[in-house]
Amino acid sequence: MMYIDPHIHVTSRTTDDYEAMQKAGIVAVIEPAFWLGQARTKIGSFQDYFSSLVGWERFRAKQFGIVHYCTMGLNSREANNVALAEEVMELLPLYVSKEGVVAIGEIGYDDQTEAEDRFYRLQLELAKEVDLPVMIHTPHRDKKKGTIRSMDVSEEHGLAPGMVIVDHNNEETAKDVLDRGYWAAFTIYPHTKMGSERMVDIVRQYGPERIIVNSAADWGISDPLAVPKTANLMREKGIPEEHIKMTCYGNALKAYGQSGQMDEKDWLEKEPIDQTKKMGGNTVLRGGQNPRIENDSSNIIEN
Ligand SMILES: [Zn+2]
The helix (H) or strand (E) run that includes residue 144 is: helix 143-156
Distance 106 CA to ligand 1 centre (A): 7
Q: Quote the distance between the C-alpha of residue 80 and its chain's center.
A: 23
Distance 32 CA to ligand 1 centre (A): 6
CA distance 131 to 118: 20
Directed axis angle between helix 196-206 and helix 226-236, to 10°?
A: 60
> What pLDDT is stored for residue 194 in this prediction?
65
Q: Which pLDDT tens digits describe the chain residue by residue (303 residues)?
A: 999 999 999 999 999 999 999 999 999 999 999 999 999 999 999 999 999 999 999 999 999 999 999 999 999 999 999 999 999 999 999 999 999 999 999 999 999 999 999 999 999 999 999 999 999 999 989 999 999 999 999 999 999 999 999 999 999 999 999 999 999 999 998 876 567 899 999 999 999 999 999 999 999 999 999 999 999 999 999 999 999 999 999 999 999 999 999 999 999 999 899 999 999 989 999 888 899 999 865 555 544
289: DSSP letter: P
Distance 276 CA to ligand 1 centre (A): 31
Distance 289 CA to ligand 1 centre (A): 33
- Do 251 and 235 meet the contact criterion of CB atoms below 8 Å apart? no
> What pLDDT is stored for residue 298 in this prediction?
53
Distance 205 CA to ligand 1 centre (A): 26
Q: Where do the domains of the chain lie, and which CATH numbers do they carry?
A: 3-282 (3.20.20.140)
Distance 288 CA to ligand 1 centre (A): 35
> What pLDDT is stored for residue 287 in this prediction?
85
Distance 287 CA to ligand 1 centre (A): 33
Distance 242 CA to ligand 1 centre (A): 27
The helix (H) or strand (E) run that includes residue 23 is: helix 15-23
Distance 300 CA to ligand 1 centre (A): 31
Tens of pLDDT, residue by residue over 252-290, are: 999 999 999 999 999 999 989 999 999 998 999 988 889
Which own/partner contact pairs does 168-176 have at CB distance under 8 Å and 24+ positions apart?
168/137, 168/138, 168/140, 168/143, 168/216, 169/138, 170/143, 170/194, 170/198, 171/198, 171/202, 172/143, 172/144, 173/138, 173/143, 173/144, 173/147, 174/202, 174/206, 175/206, 176/144, 176/147, 176/148, 176/151
Distance 28 CA to ligand 1 centre (A): 16
Burial 144-155 (b: 16+ CB within 10 A, else e): eebbebbbebbe
- Do 71 and 101 meet the contact criterion of CB atoms below 8 Å apart? yes
Name the amino acid, one letter, at 69. Y
